[in-house]
Chain A
Amino acid sequence: MLGADLTLFEEDERRLAAVLRRLCEEAKSRAVFLIDKSGQLIAAAGETANVDITSLASLTAGSIAASGGLAQLLGEKEFSVLFHEGEKDNLHISVVAQRAILVVLFDRRSSLGLVRLRLKRAAEDIGQAFAEMALRTQQEAGRGRAAFQAQFAQFTDEDIEDLFKS
Chain B
Amino acid sequence: MSFINYAAREINCKLVYYGPGLCGKTTNLQHIYSKVEPSTKGKLISLATETERTLFFDFLPLELGSIRGFKTRFHLYTVPGQVFYDASRKLILRGADGVILVADSQIERVEANIESLENLEANLAEQSLKLDRLPFVLQYNKRDLPNVVPVEELQTLLNPNGVPWFEACAKKGTGVFETLKGVAKLVLNELKKKT
Q: Give residues in A with beta carbon < 8 Å to B.
A: 1-10, 12-14, 36-40, 52, 54-55, 58-59, 62, 65-66, 68-69, 144-145, 147-149, 151-155, 157, 159-164, 166
Q: Give residues in B with beta carbon < 8 Å to A.
A: 1-8, 11-12, 14, 36-37, 42-43, 45, 47, 56-57, 59, 61, 64-65, 67-70, 72, 75, 87-88, 90-92, 94-97, 127, 129, 134, 177, 180-181, 184-185, 188, 190-192, 194-195
Knowing A160-B188, A164-B181 are in contact, say whether A5-B3 is a contact too (CB < 8 A). yes
Q: Return chain B residues, CB-CB under 8 Å to A157.
A: 185
Shortest C-beta distance, A144 to chain B (Å), equals 4
**By the criterion CB–CB under 8 Å, are B192 and A55 in contact?**
no
**By the criterion CB–CB under 8 Å, are B1 and A148 in contact?**
no
Most buried by A among B1, B94, B181, B185: B1
Nearest residue (CB) in A for B184 is A160
Nearest residue (CB) in A for B193 is A153
- Contact among A12, A40, A148, A164 with B177 in the assembled complex (CB-CB below 8 Å): A164
**By the criterion CB–CB under 8 Å, are B1 and A4 in contact?**
yes
**By the criterion CB–CB under 8 Å, are A149 and B45 in contact?**
no
Shortest C-beta distance, A75 to chain B (Å), equals 15
Nearest first, the 10 closest Cβ-Cβ pairs linking A and B are A144-B6, A38-B95, A10-B7, A13-B7, A65-B91, A151-B68, A152-B70, A54-B42, A8-B5, A163-B64
